Structure 1
């Protein structure tokens, strides 16, 4: 039998916590970034990342599993069609939590949880390597094109001093 999570449950029952995290996840996928307390953000992160992982698989079974948590079909559609393809090559870490200080009214520590937009280090390194390879190929092609042009230019330059010498001898 599954055991409930130990510790505080945001001032309510396990069912209330489950619904609260489902609503936070829905808002996160709807807006891409939400501001909440640090405790809620820390509890939301594994829930949201699990949903994105299910959305990456993309089959009907996983869509139904996500619909059990997020009951808004339009948000689930957005998750499966727009958000999940962004993280196709990313093995995890779809969210970022940034602390922003304390709330004015009750001094609660606040944080922004957002979906990560940037490429991973491995993707950036791969992209940089591909760009370097393309640059090298272009430079080689330009060198090959310039080599015959340089030979003809050298021949023209060699001819110019002879012409200048002829002109100087005519003047004399």
Structure 2
């Protein structure tokens, strides 16, 4: 499986993605660059699928990835049931424009 390296080593990249997924579920929308958003989206979709399953094993899998226990609780108690009938596509990427400093494409990643 190919993935984006995002100009970081593996440990830094993993920490970045874990932080961003945690923030996404905490705030329900985050602003970031397009490549990061695309990576976070795939992980976030898997986490929502775990939340829809809702059993103890799924909760533990989510806890192993998401940094904050309160966010996992929110994911399983609020976000998971909200998407119970939905077959995937839990996130939306909205283009905002380019960042002034480095002209990177900025997007908003939000839960649908």
Q: Under TM normalisation by the shorter chain, which class is it?
A: over 0.9
Report deviation, 1:15: 2.2
Structure whose CA Rg is larger: 1
Report deviation, 1:18: 1.5
Residue equivalent to 1:128: none
RMSD: 1.3
Q: Would the aligned equivalents of 2:51 and 2:80 in 1 still touch at CA under 8 Å?
A: yes
2:80 aligned with 1:71, yes or no? Answer: no
The SS at the match of 1:9 is coil
Residues 10-62 of structure 1, C-alpha deviations (whole Å, 9 max, x = no match) = 22212221211111111100001110000100111110000000011001100
- Larger RCO: 1 or 2 (CA < 8 Å, sep 6+): 2
Report deviation, 1:98: 0.7
State TM-score, norm by structure 2. 0.94
State TM-score, norm by structure 1. 0.62
Residue equivalent to 1:151: none
Alignment partners' CA distance in 1, 2:83 and 2:22: 18
Instruction: Point out where structure 2 has 5 or more consecutive residues left out of the alignment.
Output: none
The SS at the match of 1:91 is coil
User: Which structure has the highest helix share of the two?
Assistant: 1
Alignment coverage as a number of residue pairs: 112
The SS at the match of 1:93 is coil
Report deviation, 1:73: 0.3
Residue equivalent to 2:49: 53
User: Which structure has the highest strand share of the two?
Assistant: 2
